[in-house]
Amino acid sequence: MVMRTARLAAAAVAAGVVLTGCNGSTGTSSTGPAEITFWGWASGYEKSVALWNKTHPDIHVTYEAITDGGAGGYDKMFTAAKAGKAPCLAQVGYETFASFLAAGVLKDVSDYVKPKRAEFADWVWGNVGVNGKAYGVPVDTAPMAMFYRADLFEKAHIAPPKTWEDFTRAAAAVKAADPSARIMNLPTDPYLYAGFAWQGGAPWFGAKDDAWSVSLDSAANTKVADYWQGLFDKKLVTSYPAFDATLYSAWSKGKVWAEVGPVWSASLIRDNAAGSAGKWAVAPMPRWNGSDTVGNSGGSATAVMKDCDRPEEAAEFALWMSTDTESVSNLIASAAILPASKSGLANKALDAPQSYYGGQSIYRLFRDEAAKVNTGWMWGPVMSTTATALGDGLGKVHTGRSTIQDALTDAQKSTLDTLRSQGFSVSG
């Protein structure tokens, strides 16, 4: 469900596009039964579509599975939109939504979603639109927490850290208990790293009067960078590549004891560290002193594409998929999502004990944490450039010839250069 990368083609965002990008009209529905095509890749979407079609004969949805967005799916969507052949609906990760808006390939459906706007928190709507308008419907969010080897923490008499200061002390205690083990892997994936900046009140983008501001090198971002750089310099974290078999093996063998990550890390760890089943637990994400906010790393929406000639019906289905009890239950079971809708968060499927996590009902914790996500975050319109530059820089930290601050500085420059070269208005 979650995009870990967003490798959009540079041509996707046309030169000269302003902040708000698309100002597409909602249009009016034509007569007759509506035929809606929906492109996506997440597990379980086809089941929700089938559930809809059984009970909604006047609006038929055809689901077409495509390649993961970051692995080519987004390029396919942009190409189709340019040719006027895009589907009505498309799965789009929040981190990429602003790029779709800026490219002018989405349709304003604000009037159609207005009756159920209260079903979703304001910050979630902020991921699918701009200036109060909506161009799609949220599906899920990805609040962060700490996954940890409960057996190893207990054996070493280490309590799950409640603050980042506690986390530093716990990191030293893990190394002392087992010199070959470390508490966590350095977060070098740009979107995972973004979750820590998000929690720390260190935004990367801002927007005002049709102009973008970029702040990856701000003082707040330096604070977050210095924290992780300090752990690395003290050799308290490992530096395996992100989403790599070596990291998964370290989880399974007890050489990396924890992972502070989003809700979808639950299935990532479960599916890649089977050897440690039943030994993991989940605790709240460590806090910065004086704060009770958490970060978010992932989530996606059902976007309405600009050429959709039945936008009202498309929005109706999208709202149903994200709020209907049976549909949401399916998505929880199939895609391991944390629903974005308030009714979805009340779904009893989230209360189920998880055997991999020692019988803990981990999604209850994530449901509680979802209400504490820092609301002051927004994604930029050229995240392909930002993520690539930041990811490249973070990937060099382990060499000792680059720092996290260097990676942020390079990403800041690359992002500003790309915004200007593509005709965006930039402030500051």
pLDDT tens-digit map of 295-316 = 999 999 999 999 999 999 999 9
In this prediction, residue 277 has a pLDDT band, given cuts at 50, 70 and 90, of very high
In this predicted structure, what is the pLDDT of residue 3? 36
How many CA atoms lie less than 13 Å away from 132 in the CB half-sphere?
2
DSSP state of 386: H
Architecture of domain 10-142+298-346: 3-Layer(aba) Sandwich (3.40)
pLDDT of residue 32: 67
Strands 300-304 and 136-138, sheet pairing: antiparallel
CATH class of 144-296+377-421: alpha beta
Closest to 68 (Cα-Cα) out of 79, 77, 55: 77
Q: How far is CA 282 from CA 146, 264, 286, in A?
A: 6, 12, 12
Domain ranges of the chain: 10-142+298-346, 144-296+377-421
Does 144-296+377-421 match 10-142+298-346 at the fold level?
yes
Q: What percent of the chain has pLDDT over 90?
A: 89
Task: Determine whether 192 is exposed, middle or buried from the number of CB atoms within 10 Å of its CB (0-12, 13-18, 19+).
Answer: buried
pLDDT at 20: 37
The residue type of 241 is P
Based on the number of CB atoms within 10 Å of its own CB, is 131 exposed (0-12), middle (13-18) or buried (19 or more)? exposed
252 is written with which tokens? 């399974």
Mapped onto helix, strand or coil, the DSSP state of residue 276 is: helix
Element spanning 375, H or E:
none
pLDDT digits (tens, 9 = 90+) for 52-100: 999 999 999 999 999 999 899 999 999 999 999 999 999 999 999 999 9
Contacts of residue 72, defined as CB under 8 A and 6 or more positions apart, other chains included, come to none
Task: Give the tens place of pLDDT for each residue, 160-194.
Answer: 999 999 999 999 999 999 999 999 999 999 999 99
pLDDT of residue 24: 34
For residue 256, pLDDT beyond 70: yes
**pLDDT the model gives residue 29:** 44
**pTM value?**
0.92
Lowest mean pLDDT among 20-24, 265-269, 350-354, 369-373: 20-24
Could you tell me if 380 and 411 are in contact, meaning their C-beta atoms sit under 8 angstroms apart? Answer: no
Average pLDDT over the chain, rounded to an integer: 92
